[in-house]
Each structure stands twice: as C-alpha cells, then as structure tokens.
A and B are shown apart, each in its own frame.
Chain A
Amino acid sequence: MNRLTEMTALLHIRNLKTYFFGDDGTVPAVDGIDFSIGKGETLALVGESGCGKSLTSLSVMGLVPGTGRIVEGEVLLEGENLVEKTEEELSRIRGNEISMIFQEPMTSLNPVLTVGEQIMEGLLLHQRLSRQAARERAVQMLKLVGFPRAEAIMDEYPHQLSGGMRQRAMIAMAVACNPRLLIADEPTTALDVTIQAQILDLMRDVKEKLSTSILLITHDLGVVAEMAERVVVMYAGKVVEEAEVQDLFDQPAHPYTEGLIRSVPSLDEEKERLYSIEGNVPSPDRLPKGCPFAPRCSEAWEKCLQKEPELMEIGHGRRVRCFLYDPEEGGSR
C-alpha cells in the first residue's frame, strides 16, 4: 500500500505536539508526529513505555490528562480537524465515531453499574435509541464478542466477570455504536496468554464484521505481527520508522526497530541471555542533544549526537528517522 493521502485516509495525524506544562517546565511528551490510518486498516503504534504512544491515542480522543495540552498540529478524521472541536462536539464523536479500549479491563469498567447499563450508555447517548432498542443492541453486541449467555451478562456486574470476559465486554461497549476507528491501548497486556489470543482473534473478527479501522497501541511485537498491516515505531515522542508489517520484520530500517526485533526471544536460537537494547528511554524532559536514540545506538557517530535527523522517505511507503539513510550526512545505507 502506498502512503495514504488525506483523501483515502480515515485518520490523518499531522505534526501533532502534546506537551505537559508542569512546575518544572514544559515536557514535550508527543513531539510532532505524523501518520495516517486507512479505512479498514489496522495500524500498530509500537514503542517502549513512556515513548508517548498512549498519549498520542488520548490526544486523538481529546482526553489529554492533567496539565497536558495539544499545542500544535492536526488530527483529521475524514478531513475534520478534531483539535479545533469544542468539548461538546468531541463528546459526540467519542464512543460514536472513535472509541477506545484500555489496558486494564479490571478497572476500566464501573464497578457499581451493570455491564448492560454500561454498554447501553453510549447507545442511548449517541444513537438516541429507546431503552428497549438499546438493550437489544447491547445483547447483540455481547453475542458478537462471544458471550453465549448474553442476556444474563447484561444484568451482571463487572466483578462477576473474569479479566478476559471484561475485556470482551469492553470491546462490545466500544463497538456498540459501530465506530469508524477503534483505538486499542495495550488491549491484551493485562491478560493471560491464552486469553490474549482469543481477544486478538475477537478484535480481528469484529473488524471484519464492522469494517472498523484499528489503531493498536502495543509494545508486544508478537501482537503486531498477528494483527497489524502497517507499523509506526515511536521513540521519545517522535515517529522513528513507519513500514508495512512484513517489511518491518524482514528488514528493520531504524537501529531502534532492529533492537526491538532482536529483543524478541526466539525458540530457534539457543542463547543464554536475551538481547536487550542498552540503556533506557530518555525522559521526555531531559532529551539528549541530537538524535534521542544516539546514546543507545550501536551505529551512531558524531553527527548523531549533534543534530537530529528528519523523517525521510526511503521507498516502499517506508519512512525512517536516521542519518544512516541520508547520504548527505554520511549515511551508508
């Protein structure tokens, strides 16, 4: 697939910057990211904890927490800029056109409301259905996500369900209004491995049936390989690489992506120690000069410590932010 133009893209994020304004100064947690999601596409947003991937999704939703604020950029949902919308306009989009599921199914449901009540809430709000119709639709959704006894689940409370069942209920809740985009923020991280596979299958299934686009946020490359069509790799608040999933695994372009892929344990190789990238993700309020990955990069040279590379197109719809691909700066790839 070629890079999506604004016309074919469902969601187009352009130069998005979300900063936190604390007592100790400004923290550029998301610092100028660009990417698009096509209709019906699953895009994975990958990176270590603290790289700004969750904040990116919350920025799309208009739910930036605390002292955070979108300072620049556009979030275009089929050409409409969500950044300029009022809170009231956004609340009509959230849960209706874009919805979100979260990492912690144990705490993401309200403990004192029935599962049915929580699924119906969005339907009553956005689709203006009668209670009866909303209930029917909610039951239908619970069946879609694989509850055989959907009617009974409607009147149960979250604490009566297991983690996997809660995540199913969350998915039912998120897709109840048939959103165009589903943002899944680490949807399987808190679940058992066997349940993880079921939830991923379910998400794929739901996507097929409802032709929803998915923005999948994860740090698990196994999940990426299984789910995504395209991958955006983030590091320290910026996009460092973007590629088709197959290309990314076959031939990672950025040294950081390479490191991530090498860190995945493999059964084929016999190794005493697992590979890990040296060092830690820099805190966004103390970014090094030059390329933020340079201090941890085995390929870095002087240039990398002085100047930050731009995101460059390298063919095949791939983009990478690394001097290795810039002959003018002495790149050799």
Chain B
Amino acid sequence: MYQYILRRVLIFIPMLFLISVLLFTLVQLAPGDAFTGQLDPNQDARYYEEMRERFGLDKSPVEQYLMWGKNFLQGELGISFRHKLPVSELIGDRIGNTIFLGICAYILTYTLAIPLGIFSAQRPYSKWDYTLTGAAFVGISMPSFFAGLLLIFLFSFTLDWFPFSGTVTAGAGLGGMEAFIDKLHHVILPAITLSIINIAQYTRFTRSSVLAAKQQDFVRTAYAKGVPASVVLRKHVLRNALLPLVTLFGLDMGILLSGAVITETIFSWPGIGQLLVEAIINRDYPIMMAVTMLASFFVLLGNLVADILYAVVDPRIRYE
C-alpha cells in the first residue's frame, strides 16, 4: 500500500512536467502579451520594449520556459506583471478563501445529497421521490452562472437576506465569533451556487445506488437472519451503496480546491479562481502558470485520495 502511494506520488512529477509544457505552449500561442493591453498613446514605445526586456518576454519561448521552470523548481513563482507583487503572495492571500468556499460547498453537498438520496430510495416511485427527481433535474440542468444570478436576484436584491459579494462586511470591524458568522453569511450563496449541480447529481446517484443495493442477495440474507430493517439499511445497504461516493469525494476535492472560476467571479469572491480569470484577461503569465499548476496538483492529489479511500473502505480492493 505504501509502495503504491509512493509510486503514485512519483508519477506526479512527469505528469506535472507535461502539464506545465502544455500550459506554457497554450499561453504562448495566445496573441499578444501582458503589455499589449496597456498600450497608451502617450507612452513612449521604448518603455514597452524595456518592460518586455525586463520580464524576459523578448526571449524565445524555449528560453522563457526554461527560465520559468528553473524558478519554479526553486519555489520562485515570479512577480505578477499586473500587480507587481510576488505571485506566491497573491495566491497565499486568496487560497484560504477558495478552501473555505470549497469546504462549505463540500459540506452542503454531502449533508444534503446523501440523506435526500436515501430518503428517495426508501420510497421509490412515490410523490416525494418524483418531486426530488424533478428538483434534481432542474439542479443538474442549471449552469452555475445562471444559478448564481438567480440566487442573487432572489435572496440579495428581492429578499435582502444575504450579501452578494465579498467575504466580509466591509468596515464592520468584527472579531471572533461574529467575524466567523459574518463570513458564513457571505459564503452561503456562493457555496449553494457551487454545490447545486453536485447536490442534484449525488442525490440521484445515492438514490439509484441504494435502490440497487436493496435488491442484493446479501440484503435478503440479512433479513433472513432477523436483522431489523433499520439496521439492514445502515449496516448492509448503505455500507455497500455509498462506497462509490467515496471516490467522488476524492475527485471533488481536486476540483473544489482548484478554485471555482465562475462562482468566484459572479460573487466577487477573492479566491484563486477569480485571480486566474483576472490573470487570463491581463495575460499575467506568472499567475496563470502558478494557479493552473496548483490546480493540476490538486486534481492529481484528489485522484490519488479517491483511490486510497476506496481501498480503505472496500476490502475487495487492494493495491500491490
């Protein structure tokens, strides 16, 4: 098992290398550079030449890549063209917000989807089941940019229950518990937006998984042993039905931590997703590279966690 994990972690290295080459190539293929958008007729053209020289943009792509790679390996993520600040500092300021939003979305997804799915599976083809099925289809079909705007319209503009941007109330100067509650108040709408599709999908998934497990022979065996229905559900049905969700748990980790680009943008949530969008618009290469590399790493890590968790919960799976 430990060998397996070690091997998987070592594979990260060539994978991240390939990802970096691919990303760098894509970035280079885009026309223009960080200073194209800033052209100011009153500015001397020589200024741009100097700037390009200063940031190494006048060199060949290969040289640029090698330069970036060397710095990256030394833990040097570069200076943002736009912010004129170290990229590591920019990410450091925002990653906490992304993780907080991700965890909230995570909690919402699993605490809602699993009970709803089980509830549905316990009374298949009933009115409740059909209602939840309908709701799930609406949820699955709703893109997050639309869901986000709808939530803002309903709960911020119309009802004024929740704020629609930022992570804290500006200038409120709250501390301790109050500050945390204020943060929760801010995170609710973005977290719902981010998790709505997952909630819908996992509700469906849990429902069909539980329904399938209930038909299994070993469930009949459990009843034949005299195990009461509630224990059969908990010990025999759910233990088996929820195994595949564990995999999704790992995969989601990668996706949620790499920043919710659309949701963060809609709610002006200062996370790394929003940072990335801004960097792409400004062709801020160091930020683009750093954030996408970080996201790639999280996705790879999430996949590994999914595989490991699966072996932990399912005795049939062993890694050599």
Set of chain B residues within 8 Å of A112, measured between Cβ atoms: 239-240, 243, 313-316
How distant is B244 from chain A, measured CB to nearest CB, in Å? 12
CB-based contact A63/B226 at 8 Å: no
Q: How many residue pairs bridge A and B at CB < 8 Å?
A: 81
Residues 230-262 of chain B, each 1 if its beta carbon lies under 8 Å from chain A, else 0 = 000001100110010000000000000000000
Contact, CB under 8 Å: B223 / A157: no
Flag if A108 contacts B226 (CB, 8 Å). no
Interfacial chain A residues near B222, Cβ < 8 Å: 110, 121
Scan residues 172-225 of chain B and give those whose CB is less than 8 A from a CB of chain A.
216-218, 220-225
Task: Produce 1/0 per residue, A173-213, CB < 8 A to B.
Answer: 11000000000000000000000000000000000000000
The digit string for A108-124, where 1 denotes a CB below 8 A from any CB of B, is: 11111110000001100
Asked whether A107 lies within 8 Å of B216 as measured between CB atoms, the reply is yes
Could you say which residues of chain A place their CB within 8 Å of the CB of B316? 111-112, 157, 159
Q: Are B315 and A157 in contact (CB under 8 A)?
A: yes
A93 in the interface, Cβ–Cβ < 8 Å?
Answer: yes
Q: Interface 1/0s, chain A 56-93, versus B by CB < 8 A?
A: 00000101000000000000000000000001101111
Q: Which residues of B contact A121 (CB under 8 A)?
A: 222, 225, 227, 235
Is A20 part of the contact surface with B, judged by Cβ < 8 Å? no
Q: What CA separation (Å) do A63 and B223 show in the bound complex?
A: 8
Q: Of B224, B229, B315, which one neighbours A61 at CB under 8 angstroms?
A: B224
Find out whether the CB atom of A173 lies under 8 angstroms from the CB atom of B225.
yes
Q: Does B228 contact A (CB under 8 A)?
A: yes
Taking CB atoms, residues of chain B closer than 8 Å to A87 are 229
Q: Which of A61, A88, A100, A111 contacts B240 (CB 8 A)?
A: A111
Assuming A107-B216, A110-B240, is B315 touching A94 (CB within 8 A)?
A: no
A244 at the interface (CB under 8 A from B): no
In the assembled complex, the CB of B130 is this many whole angstroms from the nearest CB of chain A, namely 17
Q: Is A125 an interface residue (CB 8 A)?
A: yes
B226 touches A126 (CB 8 A): yes
Residues of A near B229 (CB, < 8 A) are 87
Contact B218 A109 (CB under 8 A): yes
> A96 on the interface (CB 8 Å rule)?
yes
Within the assembled complex, what's the spacing in Å between the Cα atoms of A87 and B227?
Answer: 11
Task: Select which of A91, A107, A108, A170 is within 8 A of B228 by beta carbon.
Answer: A91
Complex contact A125–B315 (CB within 8 A): no
Residues of A within 8 A of B227 (CB): 91, 95, 121-122, 125
Q: How far apart sit A173 and B221, CA to CA, in the bound complex (Å)?
A: 10
Q: Which residues of A contact B235 (CB under 8 A)?
A: 113, 121
Q: Is A218 an interface position by the 8 A CB rule?
A: no
For residue A99, CB closer than 8 A to chain B, the reply is: yes
Q: Is the CB of A111 within 8 A of B315?
A: yes
Give Cα distance in the complex from A172 to B217, angstroms: 17
The answer to whether A94 touches B217 (Cβ under 8 A) is: no
Residue A256 at the chain B interface, CB threshold 8 Å: no
Question: Given contacts A108-B218, A110-B236, is CB(A159)–CB(B225) below 8 Å?
Answer: no
A95 near B220: Cβ-Cβ < 8 Å: no
Q: Is there an interface contact between B224 and A100, defined as CB atoms closer than 8 Å?
A: yes
Name the A residues within 8 Å of B223 (CB-CB).
Answer: 61, 63, 91, 94
Chain A 304-329 interface residues, beta-carbon cutoff 8 Å to B: none
Residues of chain B within 8 A (CB-CB) of A102 are: 217, 220-221, 224
A65 to chain B: closest residue by CB: B220
Q: How distant is the Cα of A114 from the Cα of B223 in the complex, in angstroms?
A: 17
Pick the residue among B218, B224, B239, B243 that contacts A107 (CB under 8 A): B218
8 Å CB contact of B226 from A94, A109, A113, A159: A94
Q: Interface residues, chain B, CB within 8 Å of chain A?
A: 216-218, 220-229, 235-236, 239-240, 243, 313-316
21 residue pairs from A and B, CB less than 8 Å apart? A63-B223, A88-B228, A91-B227, A94-B223, A95-B225, A95-B226, A108-B217, A108-B218, A109-B218, A109-B221, A110-B239, A111-B218, A111-B314, A111-B315, A111-B316, A112-B313, A121-B222, A122-B226, A157-B315, A159-B315, A173-B221
Chain A contact residues, CB within 8 Å of chain B: 61, 63, 87-88, 90-96, 99-100, 102, 104, 107-114, 121-122, 125-126, 157, 159, 170, 173-174
Q: 9 more A-B contacts (CB under 8 A) besides A107-B217, A112-B313, A170-B221?
A: A63-B224, A96-B226, A102-B217, A107-B218, A109-B218, A109-B221, A111-B218, A122-B226, A174-B224
**Across chains A and B, which 3 residue pairs bring their CB atoms closest together, nearest first?**
A95-B226, A95-B225, A94-B226
